Amino acid sequence: MAAIAYAVMVFVGSFLLTTIRVSFIISHLGVRATEFLEMPFLYLIIVMAAQQTISRFSLPDRVSVRLLTGFIGVGVMLAVDVLSEFLLFGRFPKQFFTERDPVSAAVYLGTLGMFALMPYIHLSSSR
């Protein structure tokens, strides 16, 4: 349950950021620049969501629990991302991954990695 809550918090924050980016900023700066502009805010959302998840669900200070929470969270997040892209824009999963700007795609993958590891990173920083 903790991993699902973690994924939902990040998805909602990311969805809000994306809505702002697409609605107001992308036409002025372009896709790549606005995605890079969005990244620090997404990082803050991930950190806050990890903190809330750890606190709310009293996650134990065990590496396996924290990593499992992060990796399941990423799986849930990817599933919701792909499904919402299909339902909202008619984009199939293959398009979701292949039609991205190559630089932005690398940053997106890095963000997913950070998302997966953040519950563990909080464990390491608290020791």
Q: Could you read off the pLDDT of 68-85 as tens digits, one per residue?
A: 999 999 999 999 988 988
CA distances, 124 to each of 62, 117, 118, 119 (Å): 10, 10, 10, 9
Instruction: Give the type of residue at 124.
Output: S
pLDDT at position 127 over 60: no
Helices (H) and strands (E) in the chain, counts: 6, 0
Residue-averaged pLDDT of the chain: 91
The pLDDT score that the predictor gives to residue 70 is: 97
Q: What is the pTM of this model?
A: 0.89
* Residue 119 near residue 69, CB atoms below 8 Å: yes
Residues 6+ apart with CB under 8 A from 2: 53, 56, 57, 59, 69
pLDDT at position 40 over 70: yes
* Residue 57 near residue 2, CB atoms below 8 Å: yes
Match 């499992």 to its residue by tokens.
68
Q: Could you read off the pLDDT of 2-34 as tens digits, one per residue?
A: 999 999 999 999 999 989 998 999 999 988 899
